[in-house]
Structure 1
Amino acid sequence: MSLAKSFFILLFILHIGNIYPAIAGNYNSVRYEVHIVSALPNDDIPLWYHCASKDDEFGTHMLKVGEEFHFRFIQNLWESTLFFCHFWWGEKQNAFDVFSNSLTKLCSKSSLRTCYWKVQSDGFYAGPKLDQLNLMHGW
Structure 2
Amino acid sequence: MGTQFRWSFMHVVAMALIVLSLSHSSVMVSGVYYKKIQVMLINMLEPGKNLHVHCKSKDDDLGDHVIGYYQNYTWSFHDNLFDTTLFWCGMDWTGTGGSTVNGSFEIYHAKRDLNRCSSYCTWAILKAGLYSFNRATGEWEYFFGWPIVISKGAGMKP
- Does 2:124 correspond to 1:114? no
Per the TM alignment, residue 104 of structure 1 is displaced from its structure 2 partner at its CA by: 2.6
Q: Give me the whole-angstrom Cα distance separating, in 1, the residues matched to 2:75 and 2:44.
A: 18
Paired residues in the alignment total 128
How well do the aligned residues superpose, as a CA RMSD in angstroms? 2.8
Which deviates the most, 72-81 or 26-35? 26-35
Per the TM alignment, residue 92 of structure 1 is displaced from its structure 2 partner at its CA by: 0.7
Output the TM-score relative to the length of structure 2: 0.69
Where 2:7 maps in the other structure, the secondary structure is: helix
- Does 2:67 correspond to 1:63? yes
| Structure 2 residue runs without a partner (length 5+) | 20-28, 95-99, 147-158
Partner deviation per Cα, 1:56-111 (whole Å, 9 max, x = no partner): 11111110011111111111011110000011012111111101121334304xxx
Counterpart of 1:94? 103
What is the 5 A alignment of 1:42-53? Answer: 42-43=47-48, 45-53=49-57
Q: Give me the whole-angstrom Cα distance separating, in 2, the residues matched to 1:48 and 1:61.
A: 6
Output the TM-score relative to the length of structure 1: 0.78
Note if contact 1:41-1:65 (Cα within 8 Å) is conserved in structure 2: yes
Q: Give me the whole-angstrom Cα distance separating, in 1, the residues matched to 2:44 and 2:7.
A: 59
- Does 2:14 correspond to 1:14? no
